[in-house]
Chains A and B, each alone.
Chain A
Amino acid sequence: MIHDLELSILEILFNDARTTPQQIAVMTGHSEPEVTAVIRSLEAQKIICRYSALIDWDRVKTDQFEALIEVRVTPQREQGFDAIAEQIYRFDEVNSVYLMSGAYDLMVTVRADSLKSLALFVAEKLSTLENVLSTATHFVLKKYKFEGVIFNEHKTDERLVVSP
């Protein structure tokens, strides 16, 4: 039951992090103290890492560059991919790091204020790391959809305003 409540709370907050504990209590049929306690515990466990807004940056800044970089590495004895992943995700330029199945090992996304600084980061920092075998950089030209949200979509309710 608590597990169900946790999931419901996470889904509600994921959709709208501004939903108040009071509102969540109403929506799930639990008490407000109960909901608050679960949220605190989820925060303490770092399951909820932070509350942020989903922003269509393309429409705000035009001088930001983002790239997806495929990285092939040599896994290390006893530490597998974790140690090399850490070496990469420590960089401030790095936005996300995923371990992947398939033709390469790590998918790294990098954000920078200029094309040049992004290129230099890959050339000087990333590819020179010990255990990095090769990189392939793909620049993001346009984001259409992110985290289930379609950017720049003008949603209109086309239903009849009153129907039986």
Chain B
Amino acid sequence: MNYDRALLKRFVDVPPSGIRRFFDIVSTMKDAISLGVGEPDFNTQWKVNDAAIYSLRQGRTHYTANAGLMELREAVSGYLNERFGVQYDPKTEIFLTVGASEGIDLALRVLVDAGDEVLIPDPSYVSYAPGVIFAGGRPVPIRTYEEDDFRLTAAALRDAITPRTKALILPYPNNPTGAVMERADLRALADVLKDTNIVVISDEIYAELTYSGHKHVSFASIDGMKERTITLNGFSKAFAMTGWRMGYACAPRELLSVMLKVHQYTILCAPTAGQYAALEALRSGYDSGYAYVREMVRVYDQRRRIMLDAFRKMGLSCFEPRGAFYTFPCIRSTGLSSDEFAQRLLMEQKVACVPGGAFGESGEGFVRCSYATATDKVVEAMRRMGEFVASVRR
């Protein structure tokens, strides 16, 4: 059997995630504190689990409609309108996906053909570029800079557009930088996009997690942009439901119906028990004024401040992230590369972080530290990191 002839080169050639190597080392280490975790440390609310268990007791174990339970789509529609002021018709403009990740894959598959370009702010979440390659396209990174608070600027966007540009991925609040986009920033992008045929894939999975007075602005809420925007979101970060794999895709009917067709033929529907869990998360969220979400944000914010204060004392520059649950300190002043920094910090002080280079070339010189970890562990990790940085400088 010649596997090389059997397998497509473009799939084989995508390197495994740079995060994997650290995973292997950390998992064998005792008393290591991991700041490398990209999911909430909070547990799913028990009433949400209970709603799924109840649905199983009721024997609700069949397929749902391809797009998902109508009452859940209605709840999502109401939620997006209430929280972010965007209007999507639950009948034709929303469907439930297996995590927001499925939405990314579907959007790229229906938009991207061989040789098409997809613009991706860099650094960004590790899955976008491989997703574009899997779809046959060419990922085009757009460098973002600490000086711009890692925002995507209209000028950089304009410079990156070519006749082959099919889509722009807009991943804000951003993983790994914690950057957010203000309404004015998005309006400036809209000005560049309005005379093009570029579709915006807006990954808003961290929309609920914002700090220091910032409130997430949905790109579809910018005048004239809804028609070209695919809004992706889900329950993983907002309701601490990562393992449920529940997300949703929203777009004008013309775009969404084609994505739904792929979903219908390949996935059929999101898991039924997960849909009942998600419904409970939205309903009880609405009833309580999203108290659970607010409580998580309050605690994340405290840890974010602990980290920023610690970096300042260590003499590491770090722009103030106002979204997601990551800090992205610059470690160039230590004279180490991000890889060396992360590797040595792990070996010498048993603290794991992720080298910025894993998120794209412009992440080099930075490391990603997640504060989705118990407050006392964050404090201890910062103490150890402080010792490490001092020892490197000595």
Chain A residues within CB distance 8 Å of chain B: 8, 11-12, 16, 23, 26-29, 157, 159-164
Contact = CB atoms under 8 A, between A and B. Distances in A.
A161 B34 contact: yes
B286 interface: no
A163 to B, nearest CB: 4
Nearest to B24: A162
A157 B36 CA distance: 13
B17 A27 contact: no
Interface string B1-42: 000000000000000010100110011000010101111010
Contact of B37 (A28, A29, A163): A163
A161 B379 contact: no
B125 A8 contact: no
A162 B26 contact: yes
Contacts of A11: 298
Interface class of chain A by DSSP:
loop
A162 B305 contact: no
Given A8-B298, A26-B305, A27-B306, A163 B36 contact: yes
Given A160-B23, A161-B26, 4 more contacts: A160-B37, A161-B36, A163-B36, A163-B37
Contacts, number: 55
Contact of A162 (B22, B306, B376): B22
A3 to B, nearest CB: 15
B20 to A, nearest CB: 8
B41 A12 contact: no
Nearest to B23: A162
B19 A164 contact: yes
**8 nearest CB pairs, A to B:** A162-B36, A27-B302, A162-B23, A161-B26, A163-B38, A26-B309, A164-B126, A161-B34
Nearest to B307: A26
B5 to A, nearest CB: 31
A112 B306 CA distance: 44
Contact of B379 (A23, A162, A164): A23
Interface string B292-303: 000000100011
A15 to B, nearest CB: 8
A12 B37 contact: no
B352 interface: yes
B198 to A, nearest CB: 26
A163 B39 contact: yes
B37 A162 contact: yes
B306 A163 contact: no
24 contacts: A11-B298, A16-B375, A27-B302, A27-B305, A28-B302, A29-B305, A159-B37, A159-B39, A160-B23, A160-B37, A161-B23, A161-B27, A161-B32, A161-B37, A162-B19, A162-B23, A162-B26, A162-B354, A163-B19, A163-B23, A163-B36, A163-B37, A163-B38, A163-B39
Contacts of A162: 19, 22-23, 26, 34, 36-37, 352, 354
Interface string B315-352: 00000000000000000000000000000000000001
A84 B302 CA distance: 44
A84 B233 CA distance: 57
B127 interface: yes
A157 B22 CA distance: 17
Contacts of A28: 302, 305
Contacts of A161: 23, 26-27, 32, 34, 36-37, 352
Contact of A26 (B34, B125, B306, B376): B306
Interface string B161-193: 000000000000001000000000000000000
B180 to A, nearest CB: 17
Given A26-B305, A27-B302, A164-B19, A157 B126 contact: no
B208 to A, nearest CB: 19
A164 B302 contact: no
A155 B90 CA distance: 39
A157 B41 contact: yes
A16 B375 CA distance: 10
A8 to B, nearest CB: 7
Contacts of A160: 23, 37, 39
A163 B353 CA distance: 10
Given A8-B298, A23-B379, A164 B38 contact: yes
A156 to B, nearest CB: 12
